Amino acid sequence: MLAAPHYDLHRLGFFFTPAPRHADLLMVTGPMIRAMGVATRKTYEAIPGPKLVVATGACALGGVYQPDAFTHGRVGDVLPVDVWIPGCPPSPLALLQGLLVAVDRLAEKVATLGFVADGSAR
């Protein structure tokens, strides 16, 4: 739904990529089950820094699935989450707002790296 033309994510600089090495952001949209814990962690580690994690929906926030033998619970129990987007499911506008908040956080992370406007290090 969010990829529909009337939201125009490309205008805002968002592009979907299947390769984590080309991504800046990992969006987790479901519960953090134990069977996917290692794969999720490897995907996160494959993303070059600075990187962001966005937990999307009630399942990812841990509201539906509590920690047990099959689930870790929240995404935050496995990965460092930068932005939480509530909803079951979240509306496209809530997702868009969360992505824009994430872009702001990414700008903060880049600023802490010590680069100036011309690209050279301080």
Tens digits of residue pLDDT in 11-24: 888 888 889 999 98
Query: What are the residue boundaries of the structural domains of the chain, listed by start?
Result: 21-110
Q: What is the DSSP letter of 120?
A: -
- Is the pLDDT score of 119 beyond 60? no
Question: Cα-Cα-Cα-Cα dihedral of 5, 7, 8, 14, to 10°?
Answer: -120
pLDDT at 15: 85
Segment 99-116 shows an average pLDDT of 78
**Among 3.40.50.12280, 3.40.50.150, 3.40.50.300, 3.90.550.10, what is the CATH number of 21-110?**
3.40.50.12280
Backbone angles phi, psi at 56, to 5 degrees: -120, 125
pLDDT digits (tens, 9 = 90+) for 33-75: 889 889 999 999 999 988 899 999 988 888 777 888 888 888 8
Q: Is the pTM of this model over 0.75?
A: yes
